[in-house]
Each structure stands twice: as C-alpha cells, then as structure tokens.
C-alpha cells in the first residue's frame, strides 16, 4: 500500500483528498497493468473507460464544455497522473494526452472550438494530440519550419511534425506552424487540424521502449478553414508554452507515480527476500538505498505539488514547473534503477513490474522539455530575478 500521508500537506483541499481516494478505488478495480499486444487498441480503450468514468473531465477546463471545473485544477491533474502512473503507464499516457492535446483549446479556444472539441475530449469520444516538435526543431521551438499560409478563407499547411503522441489514433491535432507575423517565436500560430483533413498523412509510426501510439506527421498542401486558427495569429509560441506550464508539472506527477510504485515494490521485496540468514531489508546497505528512495519521493512530491498549488493560486509557474519536472523525472530514474537492483535478476525479466518501470521512466526525462531545457529555463528565471533585484 502506497504512502498517502502527503495528502495531509497544506497544498491540498478536501476535494483533492476525496479525488485521490475515489480514483485509487477505481484504479484498483479497473486497471490491470498487463502486457498489451495491440497498443493502439489498449490506448483507445483506456481513453473510452477514463471518459465513461468521468476522469477525463478533469483534463479540460470549462463546465459548459464537459470540464469538471471552469479552470483546470492543476493539483487534480497531478493527483490523477500520479495515481494512474502508479497503476499503469499506458493509462497515465491516455489521460495525459487528452489534456495536453486539448490544453491549448481550453486556454485559447473560441466558444465554437470548445463546444466542438472539449466536450468530446472530456467524454473520451475524441482522441487529442499536441503537435509541436519537428525533425529539425525539438528543444528550440522557435526554429520550427512547418508553415501555414493564408489563401482566401483557408490556411494551407506544409511541413512535418514528429514524436507526436497519439499520432495515428488521434481524431484531431493541435498543430503549431510558422505564419510569419514576425521572425522566430513571434511568428508562430496554433491550429486545430482534424485527422481526416486531406493533405495530412501519418508518414511513419515510431516504436519506442515503452510502447504507446507515436508518429511522424506530414502536411502537404493541407487546406484548413480559417476557423481552424486557435487564438491570435503570431501568438502560437506563447500558447504552446502556457499549455506546457500546466502539463510539465503533470509529467513530474507521473514520474512521482512511477517512483512510488518502485519504492513500494522495493519495500515488498526487501522485507520478504531472505539471504545470509536475514531479510534483505536488515542489511544497512539496503536501508541506505531505501532511505534515499523515500527521500527522493518526498522531494519530488514537494516540488510537484508546490508548482501545482502555485498555478492554482493564479501565479506564474514557469520556473517551479521546470524544477518539478527536472527533479521528479531524474529522481524517479534513480529510484527505479535502485528498485531493479533490489529485485536482482528478476528486475530485468521482460514485463516484470520494475523492468516495465525502467522502460517507462526514460522518455519522461526527454519529452515536454528535456532536463537540459528545464535547466535553461530555471537558470534564466533565476538570473532575471537576481538582475531585477540588483537593479532596485
Ligand atoms: N508563458 C508565456 N509566455 C512565455 C513563456 C511561458 N511559459 N515562456 C516564454 N514565453 C514568451 C517570452 O516571454 C517571450 O515573449 P516576447 O517575445 O513577448 O518577449 C517569448 O515567449 C519567447 O520566449 P524565449 O525568448 O524564452 O524563447 P526561446 O526561443 O529562447 O525558447 C525555451 C525558450 C527553450 C524554453 C522553449 O523553446 C522550450 O520550452 N523548449 C522546449 C520545448 C518542448 O518542451 N518541447 C517538447 C514538445 S511537447 S513533447
């Protein structure tokens, strides 16, 4: 049984404690972390079941459009991701991508766009995707080359996007493209592109170590109505960054869920496994590991829920979200590695729970801003704050 004492921390309200308890019950009854031979089908199934049970309502903002609340509650999103990740990486993925893929619509969509897309995302009847990265621009978003030009009442999209989660199974993609109002980051815009739009093709399906739907998309003379524009022309970079400000914190929460699972599995093994006439947990060398793992879990939880709470207070969290994402993902990697060591040979057997965690955690240190990008963000923000103080 996972430690729940953190729910008493002052970051949470009564509704969060209730959510955590209800979700834990639902996840225990409904999620099994078995091997899925058809990842696409398993992901579709998770989206449908998470939608039917009402959990996806937390992933969108606006009660008039199916959302649980008018504004996305970041602490709820984080509790959902942490709990789902502790039970199944793919269940967490299915939830997270509904949120990331529709986050820009929640933040900047028109009433028609919210009515058309958010309601379906919240019920699990449409699958969402976020298309930002390109073969030539991952960390450096402002360098993207995928372009959209205005042609009468249409925008025409040309270029490629890659590493697109839900690519191939999504019903729509929020796509960022260069519209050229100004150079660099000030000349990008966001669009909602339906998967059936002529000129959009799945150029490649990509297999990764922890399987989930992933693809490279190609846009060739892809014509969309002007109404596909999301927000204001030229504001696409900020739309992307604001969306990431919410969901980067939730990546930290998912890493925390994986880390808690690894700690629980290690405690179970260390107390049961006998060697040299005592339990593994009786060795001080094991206790050192367990102490570091437990402390790492709490450090990650503190940073994650600090960032989530701060965003829910209406404050800027670019720095705090970056700190949480960097620390929780890097720490979870170390905790899971220690769990594999504690499990020994069994820890590297295919589909053993800790072997799966070992594969699941790796991508989180890369996607939605690699650790190195988070370091850049934290350093810039820290320097800016210091310079502002020095100028006073
Ligand atoms: N919210 C709102 N606005 C933001 C913002 C945020 N979180 N972050 C930056 N901006 C604004 C800046 O204020 C700046 O505005 P002005 O043009 O009005 O001055 C503009 O956006 C450009 O910001 P900046 O100069 O910091 O942009 P850079 O090109 O230097 O890039 C990084 C910044 C590296 C932080 C950004 O490109 C990034 O996050 N990269 C990682 C992308 C990523 O996560 N990829 C994974 C895709 S999802 S799997």
231-270, pLDDT tens digit by residue?
999 999 999 999 998 999 999 999 999 999 999 999 999 9
CA angle at 189 for the pair 114 and 67, rounded to the nearest 5°: 20
Our mutation pick for probing the ligand 1 site, out of 93, 234, 241, counting the most ligand atoms within 8 A of Cβ, is 241
H-helix or E-strand containing 71? none
- Listed residue (239, 229, 219) closest to 150, CA to CA: 229
Q: What would the mean pLDDT of 303-310 be, rounded to a whole number?
A: 98
> Could you tell me if 342 and 279 are in contact, meaning their C-beta atoms sit under 8 angstroms apart?
no
Question: For the residues 182-201, what does the mean pLDDT come to?
Answer: 98
Pairing of strands 274-275, 172-178: unpaired
Residues 6+ apart with CB under 8 A from 198: 222, 223
Q: Measured in angstroms, how far is the CA atom of residue 238 from the centroid of ligand 1?
A: 7
CB 49 within 8 A of CB 104: no
Q: Where are the beta strands (DSSP E) in 103-170?
A: 128-131, 147-151, 154-165
pLDDT in tens, 165-176: 999 999 999 999
239 Cα: distance to centroid of ligand 1 (angstroms): 10
Going from the Cα of 237 to the center of ligand 1, the distance in angstroms, rounded, reads 7
More confident residue, 178 or 2: 178
- Helix 74-87 crosses helix 236-272 at what angle (to 10 degrees)? 40
Please tell me the pTM assigned to this model: 0.97
* The ligand 1 atom nearest the CA atom of 186: 17
What is residue 390's predicted lDDT score, i.e. its pLDDT?
92
Ligand 1 atom 23 nearest Cα: 185
pLDDT tens, 198-209?
999 999 999 999
State the Cα–Cα distance between residues 326 and 376, nearest whole angstrom: 11
Identify which of 107, 141, 232, 318 to mutate to test ligand 1's pocket (most ligand atoms within 8 A of the CB): 141
Choice from 188, 237, 323, 378 to test ligand 1 binding pocket (greatest atom count within 8 A of CB): 237
In angstroms, the Cα distances linking 77 to 59, 154, 164, 272, 291 are 7, 35, 21, 35, 28
| pLDDT tens-digit readout, 71-114 | 999 999 999 999 999 999 999 999 999 999 999 999 999 999 99
Three-class SS state of 263: helix
Spatial contact of 42 and 89, defined as CB atoms under 8 Å apart: no
- Report how far residue 309's alpha carbon sits from residue 103's, in angstroms, rounded to the nearest whole number: 18
pLDDT score for 32? 85
Compute the radius of gyration of the chain from its Cα atoms: 21
- CA neighbours closer than 13 Å in the CB half-sphere of residue 254: 27
Asked if residue 1 has pLDDT above 80, the reply is no
Q: Are 97 and 130 in contact (CB under 8 A)?
A: yes
The span from the CA of 64 to the CA of 39, in Å, is 32
Using CA atoms, how far residue 71 sits from 42, 63, 164, 230, in Å, is: 29, 9, 26, 18
| Atom 2 in ligand 1: residue holding the nearest Cα | 238
* Residue 360: active-site member: no
Closest ligand 1 atom to Cα of 248 = 44
Q: Give the distance (Å) from ligand 1 centre to CA of residue 241.
A: 6
- How many C-beta atoms lie closer than 10 Å to residue 275's C-beta? 10
> If you count them, how many residues does the chain have?
392
Give the DSSP letter of residue 182.
S
Which residue's C-alpha comes closest to atom 40 of ligand 1?
Answer: 139
Whether the pLDDT of residue 36 is over 90: the answer is no
How many whole angstroms separate alpha carbon 310 and alpha carbon 68?
20
Q: Say how far apart CA 245 and CA 197 lie, in whole Å.
A: 29
CA of 242 to the centre of ligand 1 (A): 9
Task: Tell me what the mean pLDDT of segment 361-373 comes to.
Answer: 97
Supply 339's token pair: 């769990």
The yes-or-no verdict on residue 34 having pLDDT over 90 is no
Q: Please report, rounded to a whole number, the percentage of residues in the chain having pLDDT higher than 90.
A: 97
Instruction: Assign 156 to helix, strand or coil.
Output: strand
First-to-last alpha carbon distance for the chain, in angstroms, is 51
- 190 to each of 98, 232, 269, how far by Cα in Å? 17, 8, 49
Q: Which residues line ligand 1 (CB under 6 A)?
A: 132-133, 138-142, 185-186, 237-238, 241-242, 244-245, 318, 367-369, 373, 376-377
By C-alpha distance, which of 132, 141, 139 is closest to 372?
139
Q: How far is the CA of 184 from the centre of ligand 1 (A)?
A: 11
Q: Out of 330, 355, 360, 368, pick the active-site residue.
A: 368
Of the two residues 3 and 1, the one the predictor is more confident about is 3
**Cβ atoms of 357 and 336 closer than 8 Å:** yes
């Amino acid at each position: 049984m996972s430690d729940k004492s953190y729910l008493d921390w002052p970051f949470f309200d009564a509704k969060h404690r209730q959510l955590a308890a209800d979700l834990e019950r639902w996840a225990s009854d409904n999620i099994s972390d078995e091997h899925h031979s058809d990842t696409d089908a398993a992901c579709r199934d998770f989206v449908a079941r998470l939608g039917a049970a009402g959990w996806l309502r937390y992933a969108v903002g606006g009660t008039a459009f199916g959302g649980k609340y008018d504004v996305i509650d970041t602490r709820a999103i984080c509790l959902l991701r942490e709990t789902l990740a502790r039970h199944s990486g793919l269940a967490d993925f299915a939830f997270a991508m509904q949120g990331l893929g529709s986050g820009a619509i929640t933040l900047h969509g028109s009433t028609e766009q919210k009515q058309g897309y958010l309601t379906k995302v919240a019920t699990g009847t449409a699958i969402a995707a976020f298309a930002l990265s390109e073969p030539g621009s991952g960390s450096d978003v402002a360098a993207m080359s995928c372009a959209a030009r205005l042609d009468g009442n249409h925008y025409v999209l040309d270029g490629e996007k890659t590493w697109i989660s839900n690519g191939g199974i999504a019903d729509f993609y929020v796509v960022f493209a260069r519209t050229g109002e100004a150079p660099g980051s000030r000349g990008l815009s966001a669009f909602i592109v339906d998967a059936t739009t002529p000129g959009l093709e799945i150029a490649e399906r990509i297999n990764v170590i922890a399987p989930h739907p992933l693809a490279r998309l190609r846009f060739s003379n892809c014509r969309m109505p002007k109404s596909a524009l999301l927000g204001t022309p030229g504001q696409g970079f900020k739309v992307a960054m604001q969306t990431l400000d919410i969901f980067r914190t939730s990546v930290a929460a998912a890493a925390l869920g994986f880390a808690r699972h690894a700690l629980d599995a290690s405690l179970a093994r260390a107390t049961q496994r006998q060697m040299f006439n005592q339990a593994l947990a009786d060795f001080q060398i094991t206790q050192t590991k367990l102490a570091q793992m437990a402390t790492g879990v709490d450090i990650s939880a503190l940073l994650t829920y600090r960032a989530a709470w701060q965003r829910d207070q209406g404050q800027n969290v670019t720095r705090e979200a970056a700190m949480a994402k960097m620390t929780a993902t890097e720490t979870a990697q170390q905790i899971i590695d220690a769990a594999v060591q504690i499990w020994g040979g069994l820890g590297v057997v295919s589909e053993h729970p800790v072997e799966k965690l070992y594969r699941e955690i790796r991508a989180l240190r890369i996607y939605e801003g690699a650790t190195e990008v988070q370091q850049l963000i934290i350093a810039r923000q820290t320097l800016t704050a210091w310079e502002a103080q020095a100028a006073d």
